[in-house]
Every structure is written in C-alpha cells, then in structure tokens.
Structure 1
Amino acid sequence: MLSPPNHTYAAVVVIIDGCTVKCLTKAKTPFIDGLIERGSYSLSCKSIYPTVTYAAHSSILTGVKPHAHGIVGNTFYDRELDKIIDLDEYDVNSLLLSRTLFEMVEGVKAAVGEPVTKGADIVVTKEEVQSSGVWKQDEYAIEKAIDIIVKQRPTFLAMNLPGMDAISERFGPESREAIRAMEKVDELIGGLGDALRNNYADHLLVILSDHGLTEVRENLDLKALLKDLGPTEFLICPSHRFAHIYISSKEKREEAKRILRSDPRLELVLDARESEEFGLSSPRTGDLLVFAARGYELGPQKLKGSHGGIT
C-alpha cells in the first residue's frame, strides 16, 4: 500500500454518467447549487461525437477528440487488429493512442469506477463498481473514493458515477427515478466534498457529465435497412444511437449512403471524409457513420433513454 504523501491540495474530477441538464435542474441538489454559487459553471457544454461513454471519457481524460485518442465509439472495427472491438469486453486503455491526465500529473493518481485508468497508481475498476446493484453503484464508488482520500491523499482523482446512466436508460432521462437518482448523487458528492475539506488545505472539485440522454421509443434495425446490399457486404458496429458501418465496395458504399440518407429515422449520415468535421477521422472509423434521429435507438437493447446521437 502506498503511504499517504504530505500533499496539501488535490484535483478531483467527478463524472456523473448520463446526467442531463433537465434532470439536474429539476432535481433538488443543494450541494451542487452551493458549488455553482461559489464557483464557475456552465450548462451549455457539448460532448464529443459519438456521445457515448468510452469515447467521451477518453476525451475528458486526454483532452483530445476521438480522431486523436482512437476511441471512436463503444463498439468499432479495428482494421489493424482485424477485430470487432466491444469496449464492454475489451480494455479501453490498451487501445488509447494519447496520454492521459494520470500520466501527466505528478504525485499519486487514483481512478474509481472510471474506464480510462492508464497511468493511475490506485484503481477501483469500473467492473467492481458496477457489480453492485444499479441503485448502489454510486454509493459504492463514493465510499471507495473517500477511503482513498483519507488513506492515500492522491493529488489527482477521477471517478465515474454510473448509476444515473443506467437508471435513465431504464426509466427515461426525465423520469421520477432519474430525478431521485440525481438527488442521491448530490448527497453523495456532498460527502466527498466533506472528505476533501477534512484532508486537504485546498482542493479543486470538477463535476461534469460525459454525455446527456434523450427519450427513445423505437429500435431501428440498420441490417434490415441495408438487406438489399447482400448480407456479406457490410459490417455494422452500433453504439446506442450511433453506428459505424464498414463497406469494402465503393459501389455498395454509395448505394448504402443513398438508402440511409433517404430514411427520416436517421438524423445524419457521414462518409469517412465528412467525419473529419466531427473529430472522428481515424483508421478505426467506419466507411459510413450514422446518427439516429430523436426517438430512435440503433442498438439491440429496449431502452427508454439513450445517447450517442447528435440530439
């Protein structure tokens, strides 16, 4: 075990996974309200594209967009490895192409429930945090963070609170359950704030979300939509309301783009060249990139709230 260093300050980043502005403003959040009054805040921040967990966390902790850090979605095809990468089953850190804050900051660095951990000295894994029931995950993460603060006094700690995202997907982003979860998160972060005040002479506490969510009512099957191309002509890697589509044939690619752009259930369809404008140009990027229109989910799960799209 690392000995607690004699640091008088700390920077702590708390990511409330899937927290929306509407949910935040509807919930009673006295601790966060107090921080807003005393500090700086913005309710108009924008996530990167696609607005999904692994890509967004990678940008938060590297400071660069997906084209630079290489995490272009929750799921994608890695041409170099000739492999479909599903980051729920694959270590995102082994694929990161950019340095993380953990590697840049001096002193002891800690990560709690955070998928991006490269360079951290102390790690409580995302899998450990999410092994608890959905209503207990955030509480577990905060308890672990406070324990690390008291015993190890890191100079930098980044943590992910995953409960809001799971609850909002299950019940809807503006549901009573999501608002109740947000109010509990506020209470928990208040306890974290107490621990920081009690263990450091000074600290910086940054609270943000990796992405928002929107209500969804229907799943859109892209494979069925492209069935006329032939079953072996394309590969689809969905990340909720976003998908990479890989098509080796240029002729089939143009045909697919025409089909997809004519469907009103899709808000935006880009080719690889156009992806540069969205910070997504990468060897891992699909030949076509698809963003669902409001209300539609491109993955297989039946959800009431989702993310990944433009809106």
Structure 2
Amino acid sequence: MKKASPFEIVAARCWNLLNEGKPFTPIFVIGVFLLYRIGEWSDMGFWSAAGLGLLITLPIFVIYYCFDFPLMLRNYLWLPLIAALLVWDHGSLSLYLLALGLFFFFTVYFWGTFYYHLRIGTSWWNFTRFWKLVLKNSDSTSGNAQEQMPKFLLLLLIWNHFYHVFYSTGTFEAFNAAQLLTPVIFAVCLWLYSYVLHANLFDWKPAENSPLTDKSGWPKSAVNEKVIVIVIDGMRKERFEEANAPFLKKLRAEGTEYAQMETVYPARTVVCFSSMFTGTYPREHGIRSNMVWKLGIKVESIFDSLRKVGKTGRLLGIAHLIDSMGNDVESVTAVMHNDVADRNIIERAKRIMEEQNPDLLVAQLIGVDQTGHSRGVLYDEYVQKIEEADRLIEEFVGWLENRGMMNNTTLLVCADHGQADGIGGHGHLDEGERFVPFFMHGPFIQQGLRIEEKHSLISIAPTLAYLLGAPVPSSSRGTVLSEAMKTK
C-alpha cells in the first residue's frame, strides 16, 4: 500500500481551505464576486471600488470567521440577512443566483460526485443523493448549506451595495459620514447578536476537566508488553449496534465497555486524534479543526512519552494526521477505492508489526467514515462498512495471535467521533456524533464489565501510558481508565 505522497499531503491541506467552513466562506464570497464581474476587470475603477467595498464589509467577514453557528444556531443567521435587505437595496439578483448555483455545484457535484469518484470510486450518479445530504448537513464544513447560504448571501449583498456606491462616487472622500455609520452600526449589532446567541444558547460543549492527570498509584513497570489501538473513524454508536459485527461485539462482551465515552469539541478527525493521544483539549494542544494553520501539536503526545522510556509507537493513518502528529504518523494514501481502503490499511498494519514491532500501534480505518461522508450514515452502505471493518479486525487479531503478539497485549477499539445525518457530518456534536463505541480487551482487562459513568476520549493517552509503563504526557488531563484493569 502506498504512503501519502508529498503532493497528496499538500493537496489535503489545500482541500481543507475549501472543506472547512471558516476559510471557505471568505474564499467563496471573494471568488463569486470577482467571477460575477469578470468583464469589468480591465476597468481600474472596478478594482478601487471593489477594494473599498470589501474594506467596508471586512468586519462582517471577521465576525463570521470568529463565530460558528452550530446546529440550531444557524437558523438565527437569516435574521441579519433580512435586516440587511431592509437597510440596503438588494442589488443584483443575478449575483445571488450565481452564488447559490456555484455553491450547490461545488458541494453536490464537484465535491459530492467528481471529487469522491476520483478519490474513493463513488458513482458518477452520487449527486442524486448528495444534494439531499447537503441540505440536512449540520457540521462545521462548507457542506453545511443552512449555515453557509445566509452567510455568503449577506456578505455579497453588503459588498455589492458599497461597490456600487464607490463606483459611482469614485473616491472614499465622497462617502459621507452617515453612509459610513450605517455599516459600522450593523457590524456592531451583528457582533453583539452573535455574542449573545453563543453566550446563552451554545451550551452543549462537553465539560472540560481542569486538573492534570492524577499520577498517584502509577505502576512501577509496564502492565502490558504491547497495546493495539484500532480507531474506526466516524463509526456512529447506534449504527454499530445495528450492524452484524460478531467479532467486535464478542471482544466487547469479553472485555470492558465504556458506554458513555464522549468525544471532544469540535469533533473533527485531526482534533480528536490530537486529543486522544495527548490527553488534553484543543485549547491546549492547539489543533482546532482539520485545517491546521501551524503544523504540530503544542504539547507532548503519548509517542513522546514512550520515547522517554526507550519504547516505540506508530500511528497508521491518512495524510491529515501528519499536520498534528508529524513523524509519528505512518501515512497511507487516501486516494484509493473505498472498497479496498481498510483492507490495504490492515495489510500495512501487518507489515509494520512484522518489520518494526512497535510497543504501541494505532491504526485508523477510514472506510466507514468515507462511506458516511459520501453516501450518508442512515443508509445500508454505512452499516455494511462497519461489518466489513469487523471482519478485517478479526483477521488482523488472528494474524497477531498466530505470531504470539497478543499474549501480553491490550486491544482497544473505538471511534474518534460519530457521524450525524446529512453528509456524515461531524464537528458540532449533532445527534450521533457525541458518544462513540469504546471497549478494551486483553489478559489484564476485566471481563464482561460495562462502565456507565461518562468518560472522555482524552483518557486514552494516560491509559496507554499506564499500560505501557511510560510517563503520562505532561499536559494530559484525562483519567486513567483503571476500572477496566484487573487487580493483581
């Protein structure tokens, strides 16, 4: 199986500029405005008027970049748009129709059909389902139509209005104080409106534990020789329960299950992996979305902890994870048909165990997540991918057992986040995202135990350190999952 090439790594970062909602909005608005007026580019008056209009609109861009409008908050985005229509003339209807057309072309055809066909082999007819998924989607990406539409329509309306004002007057000096005061008041009111909404209604983020991990009772030596962590990316908890996954459910029944295992916010893959393997929250490790502006986590990871005691760990995953975890990632290409993606990852995991024999292996299976994103989570294809993952994990564990690699090994199986309705959305913790499947199995793990108390995925890093006899990562705030461990 091929590694992610340097081109793919750069391309993945560029794609995140269009995929993540925050950078997409300004890029899309500027692109639509310039495309709409492409015939005026040779007129120098166009550039000065467009630049001045953009300057007036800039505070709105900043507000919409700083404030997400998750889940039901996106319904409140239409009120500022209605207010703007009452304050300023609506301008060019054709501009807004172009924006809507380009948005749905980008999300439904370019992304949902063309991109997924080239990358994972989705059908050329995927747009026939994908348009419905985009309209229902609630995540923090550009595919969240109900959040993106009122944002870009408002920005285009204000920018286009002041473009006309400056184009007709020709200078900023001709712009009187009353005309300048109106957009200033509007921006202040929009900021206050956004702040009040978030302060009073944005109340579903998981609570964050403030103390560092308690190191009392830390074992003097490793509990296990090895730990294998298999992360089934994007596996929704209730869909896992519906799937015919006998091996995984047998492992769960014979081990310890954490029934209320909670992911972090925002529930984006790179964010979740960073929290899982540092033991702390995005505010501390610095990774706040899949769009990583400054490469690398800002705190120690479990891989750093293992190096301190002469042990090794590898994270087998897609190129996105390199942005946070760097050289600890064994990258795999994400450009392959989704029907063979997880098979290839399992084969690569076997080779890593044969050639490197790390003390800790983390393997990210991507087929379930990619199916959810391209085909939706409430369809049969999604459950079928979970069942496929079950068979592949059974094969991998059997392969390890035949080589004696499971004799003193803990196996941890979980998801990094769930997936909501729509395009398998995740980020804002909509229904189906927050709680994930999580269970441990091994010779030192309690059998048939189900823990109902709520826990967080940040507990993975300190638990791995405990099992492998390594120091806990310095910024870890998770609790060791000691209930799952047998007492000697």
Q: Shorter-normalised TM-score: what interval?
A: 0.5 to 0.7
Q: Does the 8 Å CA contact 1:103/1:119 hold for their aligned counterparts?
A: no
Structure 1 residue aligned with 2:357, among 130, 147, 153?
A: 153
Structure 2 residue aligned with 1:306, among 398, 415, 425?
A: 425
Q: Does the 8 Å CA contact 1:129/1:140 hold for their aligned counterparts?
A: no
Q: Determine the C-alpha separation between the residues in 1 that align with 2:327 and 2:400.
A: 22
Q: Does the 8 Å CA contact 2:274/2:325 hold for their aligned counterparts?
A: no
C-alpha deviation, 1:119, in angstroms: 5.8
Q: Alpha-carbon deviations, 1:185-235, whole Å to 9, x = none?
A: 00111122113322323111111111111112xxxxxxxxxxxxxxxxxxx
Q: Does the 8 Å CA contact 1:102/1:117 hold for their aligned counterparts?
A: no
List alignment gaps of at least 5 residues for structure 2. 1-223, 431-488
Q: Determine the C-alpha separation between the residues in 2 that align with 1:55 and 1:133.
A: 25
Structure 2 residue aligned with 1:124 = 330
Question: Could you tell me which amino acid in structure 2 is paired with residue 172 of structure 1?
Answer: G
Question: Could you tell me which amino acid in structure 2 is paired with residue 306 of structure 1?
Answer: G
Q: Quick one: percent identity of the two aligned structures?
A: 25
Structure 2 residue aligned with 1:214 = 420
Q: Alpha-carbon deviations, 1:219-276, whole Å to 9, x = none?
A: xxxxxxxxxxxxxxxxxxxxxxxxxxxxxxxxxxxxxxxxxxxxxxxxxxxxxxxxxx
Question: Could you tell me which amino acid in structure 2 is paired with residue 212 of structure 1?
Answer: G
3-state DSSP class of the match of 1:215?
coil
Structure 1 residue aligned with 2:404, among 199, 214, 238?
A: 199
C-alpha deviation, 1:43, in angstroms: 3.2
How do 1:1-311 residues align onto structure 2 when only pairs under 5 Å count?
9-75=225-291, 85=293, 94-105=295-306, 106-113=310-317, 115=321, 116-118=324-326, 120=328, 123-125=329-331, 128-197=332-401, 198-200=403-405, 201-216=407-422, 303=423, 305-311=424-430
Question: Could you tell me which amino acid in structure 1 is paired with residue 281 of structure 2?
Answer: K
Q: Does the 8 Å CA contact 1:56/1:210 hold for their aligned counterparts?
A: yes
C-alpha deviation, 1:33, in angstroms: 1.1
3-state DSSP class of the match of 1:204?
strand
TM-score (norm 2): 0.39
Q: Determine the C-alpha separation between the residues in 2 that align with 1:30 and 1:12.
A: 19
Q: Determine the C-alpha separation between the residues in 1 that align with 2:335 and 2:375.
A: 20
Q: Alpha-carbon deviations, 1:3-49, whole Å to 9, x = none?
A: xxxxx831111111100011110111111111111111123211100
Cα pair distance change 1:306/1:154, threshold 3 Å: same
CA RMSD in angstroms comes to 1.8
Q: Alpha-carbon deviations, 1:130-189, whole Å to 9, x = none?
A: 122122111111110012112322111111111111101111113110100000000111
Q: Determine the C-alpha separation between the residues in 2 that align with 1:18 and 1:50.
A: 14
List alignment gaps of at least 5 residues for structure 1. 1-7, 77-84, 86-91, 217-302
Q: Determine the C-alpha separation between the residues in 2 that align with 1:129 and 1:39.
A: 33
Q: Determine the C-alpha separation between the residues in 1 that align with 2:347 and 2:334.
A: 14
Q: Determine the C-alpha separation between the residues in 2 that align with 1:154 and 1:95.
A: 22
3-state DSSP class of the match of 1:158?
strand
Q: Determine the C-alpha separation between the residues in 2 that align with 1:18 and 1:36.
A: 18
Q: Does the 8 Å CA contact 1:15/1:210 hold for their aligned counterparts?
A: yes
- Greater percentage in helix: 2
Q: Determine the C-alpha separation between the residues in 2 that align with 1:143 and 1:112.
A: 11
Q: Does the 8 Å CA contact 2:346/2:392 hold for their aligned counterparts?
A: yes
3-state DSSP class of the match of 1:113?
strand
TM-score (norm 1): 0.60
